[in-house]
Structure 1
Amino acid sequence: MNTLLRLDGLARGQDAALGLFRLYLGGFLVWGVWDNITSAARMAEFEAFLRALDCPWPALAAPASVWAQLLIGALLIPGFLTRWAGLLLTINFTVAVWLLGRLEAPAEAVAREQFGPMMCVLAGFLLATHGAGKLSLDGLLRKGR
């Protein structure tokens, strides 16, 4: 077979790719909610946003979502309990996709608003089903067993 068509060399980089993916996503999640954690005003803004989306119990949902995202990010960075973090990521952002899907706006606008949260749903599925890879705390713990 032509060596240009062989992709098995790329497959060897899958653990590094998963590691970079986890680091970026985890870091982004932590960065994205840090202001809500450190500022009551920003948390109140997020609660108002959820209220405007007609989210049930926005006073409870806002901090629950923020703290869940912080926990998920903190677990993804070192790759610890990655499958559980992926499952929680999927659940958290499925709610966001559902809430945004109820917007009274043109379908194209709703689809654009849902893109980021839907990518988090899919990322969560990927991590929940594939795990963190070898370059992770999960990988080190599994290797030690």
Structure 2
Amino acid sequence: MVSDPRCPECTGKVSSTATWCMHCGADFPNAIDADSGRPVQDRADGKAAYESSVDGGSSDAQTVGFLVAVFGLVTLPFVTPPDVTLLYVAAAVGAGLYAAGQSSLGQAASRGGFALAVAPLAIWTLSLALSGPADLSFTALLGPLAYALVVSALGRAAQTVD
């Protein structure tokens, strides 16, 4: 296990992703592990290992998908009709799975957000089809419409992640 990365020139403590020493100003390709004296090897072509994993996208898209599903499970009950628990759970899980299947972090966030944005409107439509239009009122649709606008705006903002 790597402890304290150090500058090879002055042995000052530096970040493992640093390319120069803030203590002495020396440039170096890799920081030095204080225990072994060898270069810290956690960079790939000048990028930190985390940056490389984000560029790869697979596990991060799955993480975003999980977060989209959790967000949906927490928020959808507030903007969906009562007694449609199965529908909002299915919508939240479906949006999360859709997000997790994307190829990059930005696509997972934006497309998962869009899927979650249309979920309350789809649930209201299905609920009306099952129970009839007697339960429909304009004020009842204000919550789902506001939710759809906010979540779709967040999805549009997430498109810039790529």
Flag the structure with more relative contact order, 1 or 2, with Cα contacts below 8 A and sequence separation at least 6.
Answer: 1
The two structures have a TM-score, normalised by structure 2, of 0.34
Instruction: Find the structure with the greater CA-based Rg.
Output: 2
Normalised by the length of structure 1, the TM-score is 0.37
Greater fraction of residues in helix:
1
